[in-house]
Chain A
């Protein structure tokens, strides 16, 4: 029911996993966490309906939401459901449940090369201040293999920003639009991201963010380095970026400890909390699927 549930096509991915129509996902009876964060899983200033739970990615986020006095249920991240769904499709050869446009993303074990780099972004109402040229220089100094830069759609549309990265010789991409108020959502945002991540050996950014955790889950080696840039109107309640650095020091650096990173991603994306389709439908307040018999929940391998 909250428009943020549709961001990045999250509701669409969950509907697909549940065997429902993923072009028009039913309303979620609660608020779905739409990005990794160290707060209570909500966007700032969200008008919540009393009693409707927050569907959190991780146990820690849910616990923080409960401390804030709101019901919360851990279901894991939609990206993990996308991966679980893709694995199920591969395993069971169920074309009816297959992702519609992008088909099956590239399998692990295929040759991965280069780094997928996500420069830190704000959103439609937040401005990021930072020096893109300095960041480009750092990336060039660190990365030894070809670099793909993935920009937020606003930065991608901004010819000046995009041009800087293109002139530096990087391949520049955008996964699609996040959407706002149920408009302009690209339901294949996560499919594109998964496909790109599986083609790269490393995932990197100048701040620890959702994309880094998605990258780790998709089998990339993570790195977080370079100018952190500053964000206008950052919510200080949960300690901001300084807190993130203190909490996950192992993920910072040009090279990081892959084991620690995978453990962190497992916890933060709630990979142990994924629900089976029947369970997820009940939790989200969705109707039962049409007569398609459902495979069981798949564990995401890390």
Chain B
């Protein structure tokens, strides 16, 4: 165990800090759940890419810097401390990118990864269907083989970023009559392909962050399939692991929220009840614990280990921590909590954040599913009702 950053890591931190100080937007961007805000966030992705900061852990030939997970954590810490924007590119760089890296062919890596790192192609997820939410193996949307193409028919829903994104990835039933997790394949598709209709869904906050996707004889080249035909479930489970696991939510984000929450508590002064005070201190402790845990997992992965069902513990922890931090802020704000713009003229980021935090325990596999996974795969409790 060595809890000191090396001189190289310290120099890297300094480099990140200086670049962000010079380049991060001074003004808060419009929410990326709206077209104008989405465009602002994509512009920021391209600014990041211009400094070669798109995804620092990727190999240089794909647009990364070839750095390790500790350096990624340092980058993320500086990123969130600088108050830099949310990542429009998140589905690509944190979920699909690692999936292509693990399962894609060399041709697919060359074709898809560099434009992803440059923020030129923004990716949407397409997992859920009207009848397949938590029970993802109930997917019905078909991709029928026709020569060197698949022909997709069906419907996806809750597709994150799909209102404005360029490409999508998801699971489709490529074997006719197949059941459950068999006969599925992992396909990449152009969201502007003929036969795709996007219907934006107005979310809780009023903006159209995700969308329904309707597929009507959409032709997708076989070369857009990741891994073998029928191997989609295995690939999707790996993607879900990235999502729940290390990459999607780096601790820096929650530590930044915790620090802002402590500042809000100080502003509230004696108005904060002792219970709320203790809650804020507990939440700061939680953010620290999440960071320590992530550093442990990162060190384990760097030493050749992997993250398995433990990713479910992570997902439960950060999503409920995030919700609790924003809830505490709502209580601290008191009557101002309901205002979209605070009396001092600032946007009420806590309200926006609280609404967003309510989605955390639902997406990427609901926390009920994560608790099942924890109980069955980590604790060894029996499965009932699922064979």
A binds B: no
- Interfacial residues, chain B to chain A (CB-CB below 8 A): none
